[in-house]
Each structure stands twice: as structure tokens, then as C-alpha cells.
Structure 1
């Protein structure tokens, strides 16, 4: 039986970066509002641990996104399948990522994908053309994390 996993990405502004990646991957931003309200009402969560983003309550410094077709917990909004979790950290990104995401263009061409990602806030770094081995763009998300669009 395969293990369950999620990818954790350090960030400077978790909810904003989650919005970018949800749009880029066509994922859903998790909504923990119901869980947060329960925890607040029961006195198990201090108000200082909560923030608001896009009209939803969130855990301050955290935001998750999930694949729209995967199951998720109705109360917490937490995905039970393909999932990315963003967590704020005090230090800025200083070196190249050791792990990155590749986004494949699917039914649209690469130029259309790259234009869409730029409109969301990504920037192009360099184009790579390896002939028959592949063609892609190295890009950066709004916080400078590298990824590839192929």
C-alpha cells in the first residue's frame, strides 16, 4: 500500500502563494473556516492564531491547496490526496530550490501555458530546448521558487 504524502513549501505569504499555485495547477484552496470556528468557540484556538484571507478564516501563516477531484475532510477542508501546504517562515529564499514542480501544458500549447502563468504572477527565467528530448521554460513563482512549464 502506497503512503500518503503532501509537499510543504516555505513561504513569506502563505495564503497569497497558495492562491497563485491553486490557479496555476487548477487546484482548490482549502477552506478551514468551519474547523477554525469550532476551535475558537471551544476555546481551543486563540484569536491571534487566526487570520482572514479572501473572506475565509485561515490559520495564520498556513494555507493548503488540493486537487479538485480528490477527497477532502468537509470540516477542515484538508485534502486527502494530492496536496500542497504553504507555511510562512521568517527567512527569505536565498538559493536555488532542490525540488521543483513541473507543470505540463496538457491540451494547450506551451506558449499559452507560459502566458497564463505569467498573467498569474510567474516570471520567465530561461527557455530550454533539448530537441526531441523536450522543450520547456524555467520559471519563478511570485516568491522566486523555480518551477518548469513544459
Structure 2
């Protein structure tokens, strides 16, 4: 029996995080079915306060997900869910993301990510491998090299 994996990431602003990571990974933000959201509110399963507008679309306030563009609408699929939490990140992540540059220029990527709100934390190396550790706009650590 196989399993699928969804990674859930706590976020102060799940929609902004989904936008940022989708652009960073070259993935897509999963679209929200606005008619479904409206129906859930109309039937009393949710309230208008459970929703918000993001980029002119009605969405669930507490979450946004991303996946590889070619997997949009497929089940199963790789998926990262950003879920709203009230508290800000305060300590080092126990899990972080490693991005594979696939031959790209790490200095150019660092500059591009910093221009979009990422923070450079440090450079490290082990043997012949060197990488940068950075934080996304909400402080979640990730590496690439």
C-alpha cells in the first residue's frame, strides 16, 4: 500500500507564504473553488469570517496550498499546505527545505530571493559541498547550493 505526503507549514499569512514559495519553486498555488466556499457559507458549514479575498478571489482564510504545476487537479500529488497559526515563528525549524539548483548560480539566486523578502543567514560547507542557509519572509530556514 502506497502513501502520499502533504507537508503542512504553520504561517502567519498562509496566502503570502504560498505565493512566495510557489514562485520560488516554480510551482503553482492551488486554486480555490469559490462556488464551493460560497455554498459552505450559505449552508452554515462555515461563516463569512472563515473566508477572505486574495488577489481578487474568495479563499479560505486559514490555508493555502501549492503543488507542482503539472500536478494541479491530480490526486495524489505532491503538496505543501500553509496553515494559519496565531503565533510567530520563534525558534529554529526542526525540518527545513533544501533546494536543488540544478546547475544554477547560487549567488544570483541568493540576490533574487533577498529582493523578494528572504534573509541570508550563513554560508556553510562540508567537503566539496557549499551552500547558503536563508530564511523565507516568515523566518523558515531553507538551504541551497
TM-score, with length taken from structure 2: 0.89
User: Deviation at 1:63?
Assistant: 1.0
Q: String of CA shifts for 1:1-39, please: whole Å, max 9, x gaps.
A: 430111000111111111111111111111112431332
Report what 2:39 is aligned to.
Answer: 38
> Does the aligned pair in 1 maintain the 2:30–2:72 contact within 8 Å?
no
Aligned to 1:50: 51
Distance in 1 separating the partners of 2:125 and 2:103:
20
SS in structure 1 opposite 2:143?
strand
Structure 2 stretches lacking a partner, 5+ long: none
Matched residue, 1:11:
11
Q: How does 1:102-121 map to 2 (within 5 A)?
A: 102-121=98-117
The residue that corresponds to 1:21 in the other structure is 21
Give the deviation of 1:118 after TM superposition: 1.5
Say whether the 8 Å CA contact 1:140–1:147 is kept in structure 2: yes
Q: Which residue of 2 aligns with 1:146?
A: 141
Q: 1:71 to 1:30 in 2, by over 3 A?
A: closer
Q: CA RMSD of the aligned region, Å? A: 1.8
- Counting matched residue pairs gives 144
Runs of 4+ in structure 1 over 2 Å off: 37-45
Give 3-state SS (helix, strand or coil) of 1:80's partner: coil
Once the two structures are TM-superposed, the CA of residue 120 in structure 1 deviates from its matched residue by 1.9
State the 1:50 CA deviation: 0.7
Tell me the TM-score normalized by structure 1.
0.86
Q: Return the alpha-carbon distance in structure 1 between the equivalents of residues 76 and 35 of structure 2.
A: 17
Of the structure 1 ranges 48-57 and 100-109, higher mean CA displacement relative to structure 2 is found in: 100-109
Unmatched tracts of structure 1, length 5 or more: 74-78
